[in-house]
Amino acid sequence: MGFFVGEDTPFKAIRALPPGGRLAWSPGDLRVNGGAPAVAPTRPSRDAAMDDYIERFRLAMARRRPPDAPYALPLSSGRDSRHILLELCRMGCPPRLCLTGRRYPPTSREDALIAPQVARAMNVEHRFFVDPLPRFRRESAAILAQNLCADEGHWLFGVFGRLSELGPVTYHGLAGDVLSASRLLTRTGLDLFERGRLEELALHLISQWHKDEQLDRFLNPGQLARYSRDRAIARLVSELEKHRQAANPISQFYFFNRTRREIVLPPAFALAGLEMVHYPFLDRDLCDFLLSLPPGLTMDKAFHTDTILRAYPECAHVPFERADAPRARDLRAYAHRLKFLSDLAGLALLHRRDWWRANDRLLPRTLRRHLVPGRMLEANRFLQAVLYLSQLHSLAHG
């Protein structure tokens, strides 16, 4: 699925702390406790839930008021960073600058089109940041910086690194989407959860991330036997079981796994140079409230949008990003992919020959598969996994 579940890491003898983890350490004895908290479900009306969301978010931001010193804010075309910016402006302490990073292609152009409009509507200066590093170098460095526990968010390291030069603090919209507008919340997944069909659910969740048998392209027969799909499903089922009683089990599963184990790592590491990074959606009162809501409120993916429009009508004329926005498939995107492939091939041929020899089908298949312009988007996750596994092998074998 592209992220670790529970407390797993790629290392045999290293584990992450569980949610709310506590260590009890005495001579010769270490005990670890914790786990996802039990949040009592609520069933407010949609209007009441939106009003409560507005108020709790405002309280969360009031607890994290910025200092008098100028600061910068990362801004995308999505809901989370916009919600933060609009509330900061309502509080009378706007950032001096909003910064938007240009992502590596192929991606949609929504950030470039919409983020400047949001900043302009709030009379805040806006700038774009173009990462000077090519994707291969940036992604390789980001995987290592995150201790091989995540393979996403590499493009954020460039823009987030720039923020440390622009002020002592910043804000990040971590978890706003999964808690109030998750694209990963589906009726199919929820029905399987409610009927207790966790093996089917595990297979369904895996298929959302990988539409075909990608492992067959990675691993030789011996590796496939060791790292079987059945083993992956069994591991996932044991983690899903922990969230069966949640008010919104799908969103809670992703929050305590993908968000906690993967999505948090790029800002946590890339923003380490700042004095303070605020994550208002992780405010305990707000977070518990959003986890308590029935999934029907957020299933249509409009709950967060409608809440923002209700709270800040002055910015209602600025559109939000579209999940189905077309992605760039021009010559620049194709040249970018060719550059990444050539860097990856150079890594294969010059530095880690033993791993690529052990996976002798991988390099030619990678090159054949991804030189076709129409398949560039499909290739993205595959290439990330190839790079990740080669780096993991390098770390393990020197």
> What percent of the chain is predicted at pLDDT more than 70?
84
Summarize pLDDT for 344-388 with one digit per residue, the tens: 777 666 555 565 555 666 666 666 656 555 555 556 667 777 788
Alpha carbon distances (Å) from 386 to 78, 110, 168, 300, 389: 29, 28, 37, 35, 5
Tracing tokens 């992450």 back to the chain, one arrives at 16
pTM of the model: 0.91
Rounded CA-CA distance 216/227 in Å is 11
Q: Can you tell me the mean pLDDT for 47-56?
A: 98
Give the chain's radius of gyration (CA, Å).
22
Q: Any idea what the Cα angle at residue 129 is, between residues 209 and 378, rounded to 5°?
A: 20
pLDDT band at 218 (very low <50, low <70, confident <90, very high): low
Contacts of 1 (CB under 8 A, 6+ apart): 205, 206, 209, 210, 236, 258
pLDDT band at 79 (very low <50, low <70, confident <90, very high): very high
Summarize pLDDT for 112-165 with one digit per residue, the tens: 899 999 999 999 999 998 888 888 888 889 999 999 999 888 878 888 888 888
Distance of CA 88 to the CA centre of its chain: 23
pLDDT band at 221 (very low <50, low <70, confident <90, very high): confident
Exposure on the CB side of residue 73, measured as CA atoms within 13 A: 32
Give the pLDDT of residue 341. Answer: 75
List beta partners, residue 278: 171
Give the pLDDT of residue 360. Answer: 60
pLDDT band at 323 (very low <50, low <70, confident <90, very high): confident
Give the chain's mean pLDDT.
87
Concatenated DSSP letters for 56-84? HHHHHHHTT---SS--EEE--SSHHHHHH
Pairing of strands 97-101, 72-74: parallel
220-227 long-range contacts, CB within 8 A, separation 24+: 220/358, 220/359, 220/360, 220/361
Contacts of 92 (CB under 8 A, 6+ apart): none
Rounded CA-CA distance 103/112 in Å is 10
Concatenated DSSP letters for 174-239? TTHHHHHS-TT--HHHHHHHHTT-HHHHHHHHHHHH-SS-THHHH--HHHHHHT-HHHHHHHHHHH
Q: Can you tell me the mean pLDDT for 249-254?
A: 96
Instruction: Decide: 297 and 49 in contact? Cβ < 8 Å.
Output: yes
